[in-house]
Chains A and B, each alone.
Chain A
Amino acid sequence: MARSKEPIWWSMFSAGGVIAAFLIPATLLITGFAPLAGYITAEQLHDLIDRSWLVKIYLFILIALPLFHWAHRFRFTVADLGLRGGAALQAILFYGAAIVGTICAAVILIRA
């Protein structure tokens, strides 16, 4: 029997959960509510990302790990909501989407 890959996905889920819990609320305020309230313009936010490697690394972490957090938890949510068929296909789809998203983020941020 193949050894379970579950611990890997669980640790990615867990790491993403920590990152999301600590960083997403404040970042959401910066990208969503600050522009709405006029504290920051789209141009300022654009330049902030464009000219800083630190911000790019920050965004990479904030894209990659939460995607794996979503993939793992969403698998169980879908099953809990009653869709139990095609579990293997679902796993490939959700984890695959997280992997593709991570690669896209890396390529985009390295080129930008």
Chain B
Amino acid sequence: MPRHQPATPAKQHIRPMPVGWWLKRTSYFLFMMRELTCVFVGGYALFLLMLVARIGEPDAFAALLEHPGSLVFHVLALPFVLYHTITWFNVTPKALVIYRGEEKVNPVIIAGANYVGWIVVSVALIWIAWIAIGSA
């Protein structure tokens, strides 16, 4: 007996999305902004790569650091990387569910611990850079 064949081949149905769908609602817009933070995260990695590639040439290193384009990038990137940090910490309790005995640890505590850790690490980094430069 021949296997049943559908009269017409099944087609994957892809709902057409208007290009500007993410502008339609605040929640969609914030989602897209969160996704676009990756452009600045990756962009900053690229900037650091370009910077370390110039370690052998101090003048080129300074030229890149002081280039107007680099300053514009830093100013644009700051709000995006901060938004990455905030959204990342806020979803951490969803990915990392911690139990203490039978009780689930309050997600606010997990996110809060991340924020406290972030502030400590940030202050430490700036302090270390400050000390290292001062001792040079």
Question: Which residues in chain A, 33-47, are within 8 Å of chain B measured between CB atoms?
Answer: 33-36, 40, 42-47
How many chain B residues touch A (CB < 8 A): the figure is 54
Measured in the bound complex, the distance between the Cα atoms of B22 and A17 in whole Å is: 23
B102 to chain A, nearest CB (A): 28
Q: Which residue of A lies closest to B91 (CB)?
A: A17
**A50 with B82: CB separation less than 8 A:** no
**B129 with A30: CB separation less than 8 A:** yes
Measured in the bound complex, the distance between the Cα atoms of B82 and A45 in whole Å is: 23
Q: Which of A49, A69, A112 contacts B38 (CB 8 A)?
A: A69
**B66 with A42: CB separation less than 8 A:** yes
Measured in the bound complex, the distance between the Cα atoms of B16 and A82 in whole Å is: 9
Measured in the bound complex, the distance between the Cα atoms of B53 and A45 in whole Å is: 14
How many chain A residues touch B (CB < 8 A): the figure is 56
Measured in the bound complex, the distance between the Cα atoms of B41 and A71 in whole Å is: 10
**A42 with B65: CB separation less than 8 A:** yes
- Whether, in the assembled complex, B121 has its beta carbon less than 8 Å from a beta carbon of chain A, the answer is yes
Known contacts A23-B125, A69-B38: A62-B48 contact under CB 8 Å: yes
Measured in the bound complex, the distance between the Cα atoms of B65 and A14 in whole Å is: 29
**B42 with A71: CB separation less than 8 A:** yes
**B32 with A80: CB separation less than 8 A:** yes
Q: 0/1 per residue, B33-73, Cβ < 8 Å to A? A: 00110110111111111011101101001100110001101
What residues of chain B have their CB less than 8 Å away from a CB belonging to chain A? 14, 17, 19, 22, 32, 35-36, 38-39, 41-49, 51-53, 55-56, 58, 61-62, 65-66, 70-71, 73-75, 77-78, 81-82, 84-85, 88-89, 95, 114, 117-118, 121-123, 125-126, 129, 132-133, 136
What residues of chain A have their CB less than 8 Å away from a CB belonging to chain B? 14, 16-18, 20-36, 40, 42-50, 52, 56, 59, 62-64, 66-67, 69-71, 73-74, 76-77, 80-82, 84, 101, 104-105, 108-109, 112
